């Protein structure tokens, strides 16, 4: 879904470069993932919320929120398997991932707002 949106629009061309950078940073810090102590309960809560968010997005047919649930799932999986210290260490790649995903939401909202008229205020006798 994301790759299709990225390839169809000039606004997303940066995503094809950003994702390999995120993967490289994650790979270069792979020992942190191995050494980290996971937060199973907190990670499961985040993963459960991400799953509920995903299911609601599917039911409401909101593709932008489906993409955001993917980012939340990645965050929850890192928290579950490796803990908060690795999440802190991976904050830059996670923010880059959010940036790539969030633009899908921003541009989708722009398209929706373009179709709405701005209400006009009429001031009588003022």
Distance of alpha carbon 22 from alpha carbon 7, whole angstroms? 19
User: Do the domain assignments include residue 66?
Assistant: yes
**Which residue is listed with tokens 């509920």?**
52
In a domain, 123, yes or no: no
CB 82 within 8 A of CB 32: yes
User: 74 in a domain, yes or no?
Assistant: yes
Residue with tokens 């606004």: 11
- The CA–CA distances, whole Å, from 103 to 14, 16, 97, 107, 109 equal 11, 13, 10, 6, 10
Report the alpha-carbon distance of residue 68 to residue 108 in Å, rounded. 13
- Structure confidence by residue, pLDDT tens digits, 45-91: 999 999 999 999 899 887 778 888 888 999 999 999 999 999 999 99
User: Does residue 119 belong to any structural domain of this protein?
Assistant: no
Provide the number of structural domains found in the chain: 1
The verdict on residue 126 lying in a domain is no
**pTM for the whole thing?**
0.72
For 88, the domain range is 2-114
Higher pLDDT, 114 or 25: 25
């Amino acid at each position: 879904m994301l790759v299709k949106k990225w390839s169809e629009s000039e606004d997303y061309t940066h995503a094809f470069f950003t994702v390999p950078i995120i993967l490289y940073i994650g790979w270069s810090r792979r020992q942190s993932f191995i050494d980290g102590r996971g937060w199973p309960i907190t990670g499961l809560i985040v993963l459960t919320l991400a799953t509920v968010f995903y299911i609601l997005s599917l039911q409401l047919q909101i593709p932008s929120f489906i993409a955001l649930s993917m980012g939340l799932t990645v965050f929850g999986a890192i928290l579950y398997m490796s803990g908060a210290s690795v999440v802190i260490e991976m904050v830059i790649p996670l923010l880059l991932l959010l940036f790539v995903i969030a633009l899908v939401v921003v541009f989708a909202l722009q398209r929706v707002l373009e179709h709405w008229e701005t209400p006009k205020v009429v001031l009588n006798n003022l």
